[in-house]
Copies of this chain bind each other. A is one copy, B any other.
Amino acid sequence: MAIERRPLREQVKDELLERLGHGRFTPGESINEVHLAEELGVSRTPLREALISLEREGIITSERGKGFRFAPTGRQEFLDLTAILIALESLALRTSDREHLSAIAPRLLAEARAFSAPQAPHGTIERYDDAWHALLLSGCANARLRELIDSLKLTLHRYERVVVGDHAILERAAEEHERIAQCLLDGDMEQAVAALEANWTSGMERIMERLPAVGTR
């Protein structure tokens, strides 16, 4: 039955990410360890361990004597992160096993189309884009690269809140996904990579439009 017994620090980390995704923390907000630990029902030790881990991921900042705070967001950082992720996902796709890609291409197409359909079941919506990309890169043998991409996506998620709930944007993404899948079906890697980059650029622009010009809250 596999009783999952993970360290508290990891559970705390997940919980913090979850709350951040739901907007229960705001970027720049400073963290009171005692209060937060109490609220989470753990001691300061695993909380601090989780914070240090998140700090290395760039989601949290710390300053000697001042403690931790959620890293401020900014338009420039968003652009920077996006540029990195484009490069990494392109690499992952290019170096994926061709056979595996051919094998999953139909599924990639199907899932994109299923999502375009009027009412996708709720709950799957938020995760759709992530899930699709994860499937796309499931044939990437470079484990390190996959982990890195996942980690960076966590930091990008902080920006995606501005478009959460906007179905039109996700539909547009699904269309772009269809295009990528089609390229893979055709076995045209160059086009697939180009389409993937276009997908990223398009998503980036949608978010940029909605990010306040300065401060980015």
Binding site for B on A (CB under 8 A): 5-7, 9, 45, 48-49, 52-53, 55-58, 64, 77, 80-81, 83-84, 87-88, 90-91, 95, 142-145, 147-148, 151
Contacts and interface: CB of A to CB of B under 8 A. Distances in A.
B91 A87 contact: yes
Q: Give the dominant DSSP class at A's interface.
A: helix
The number of times this chain is found in the oligomer is: 2
Contacts of A6: 64
Contacts of A95: 83
24 contacts: A5-B64, A7-B64, A45-B45, A48-B49, A49-B49, A49-B52, A52-B52, A52-B53, A53-B56, A56-B151, A58-B144, A58-B147, A77-B144, A80-B142, A80-B144, A80-B145, A83-B95, A83-B142, A84-B88, A84-B91, A84-B144, A84-B145, A87-B87, A88-B88
Nearest to A63: B7
Nearest to A145: B84
A54 to B, nearest CB: 9
Nearest to A140: B80
B144 A81 contact: yes
A56 B56 contact: yes
A144 B142 CA distance: 22
B80 A143 contact: yes
B58 A55 contact: no
A203 B148 CA distance: 23
Contact of A9 (B52, B91, B145, B148): B52
Contacts of A77: 143-144
A5 B65 CA distance: 10
Contacts of A7: 64
A97 to B, nearest CB: 14
Contact of A53 (B55, B58, B143): B55
A87 B197 CA distance: 14
A57 B147 CA distance: 11
Nearest to A95: B83
